[in-house]
Amino acid sequence: MGKIIGITGGISSGKSTVTNFLRHRGFQVVDADALVHQLQAPGGRLYNILVEHFGNQVVLKNGQLNRPLLASLIFSNPEEQEWSKETQGQVILEELAALKNQLAQTEAIFFMDIPLLFEQGYESWFDEVWLIYLDRETQIERLMNRDKLSLEAAESRLSSQWSLDKKKKLATHIIDNSGSLDQLLSQIISLLERGEFHERN
């Protein structure tokens, strides 16, 4: 049996930084955010569902969805958040399950980066869940820098997710990303260097 590892965290906690590193080391990583982008592109399974629900206001002249507008419509309204979680959540689950089953045929070990892994109840899929953790202040600072958001907007994005302290209790391994990039990656290397990974590589 292969090993499937879930990677999660919060927005801007360092998941992509970790998964880029894992890819460089030759591992396959499913990126749930990238999958959602594909599904929301014209012709994707989520595109029509979203246009039907929010109307043409969310369609740009070039036919793509206006993602910042969609995000603000969803994040600013708890009912829309609930709708999105249920409706989009089901389609995303089906598509992620298909990718998981496909990779399980060929890979001894692979990773799935799912930002809302705990919120959406995916933990039973995984042998291990690695949480990319950092203190809230640093998380907000990195989010504001990366996405050019105001403090208020950054806090509102964070408030739609469970706190990293809550997720800490549920994860198999906690990877601290409050420090430098080297400190982050050395924790990943230690986890990869455990015997079980050597046997399978």
Q: CA-to-CA distance for 77 and 73, rounded, in angstroms?
A: 7
17 binds ligand ADP (CB under 6 A): yes
**Is the Cβ–Cβ distance between 121 and 97 less than 8 Å?**
no
Residues 124-143 contacting ligand ADP, CB under 6 A: 142
29 is a site residue for ligand ADP (CB under 6 A): no
Task: Name which position in 34, 60, 151, 181 contacts ligand ADP (CB under 6 A).
Answer: 181
If one asks whether residue 16 binds ligand ADP (CB under 6 A), the answer comes out as yes
The correct pick among 5, 11, 35, 96 for binding ligand ADP (CB under 6 A) is 11
Distance CA 6, CA 31 (A): 10
Which span sits near ligand ADP by CB under 6 A: 24-32, 73-81, 178-186, 190-198?
178-186
Residue at token pair 């409050």: 178
**Which stretches of the chain are DSSP H helices?**
15-24, 32-40, 45-54, 67-75, 78-106, 136-147, 151-159, 164-168, 181-192, 195-200
- Tokens for 52, please give them: 């039907």
Q: Which amino acid is at 164?
A: L
Nearest-approach distance from CB 20 to ligand ADP, in angstroms: 8
Asked whether position 146 contacts ligand ADP by CB under 6 A, the answer is yes
In the bound complex, what is the minimum distance in angstroms from residue 113's beta carbon to ligand ADP?
Answer: 8
Stretch that binds ligand ADP, among 67-75, 97-105, 148-156, 179-187 (CB under 6 A): 179-187
Q: Which residues contact 186 (CB under 8 A, 6 or more apart)?
A: none
**Which of 133, 184, 187, 188 is the binder for ligand ADP (CB under 6 A)?**
184
Q: Which is nearer to ligand ADP, 17 or 28 (CB)?
A: 17
* Count of residues that bind ligand ADP according to CB under 6 A: 14
Q: What angle do CA 165, 192, 162 make, to 5 degrees?
A: 15
Q: Which of 4-12, 39-47, 71-79, 164-172 is the region at the interface with ligand ADP (rule: CB under 6 A)?
A: 4-12
Cα distances (angstroms) measured from residue 35 to each of 46, 108, 124, 131, 195: 11, 22, 20, 20, 32
Contact positions vs ligand ADP (CB under 6 A)? 9, 11-17, 142, 146, 177, 180-181, 184
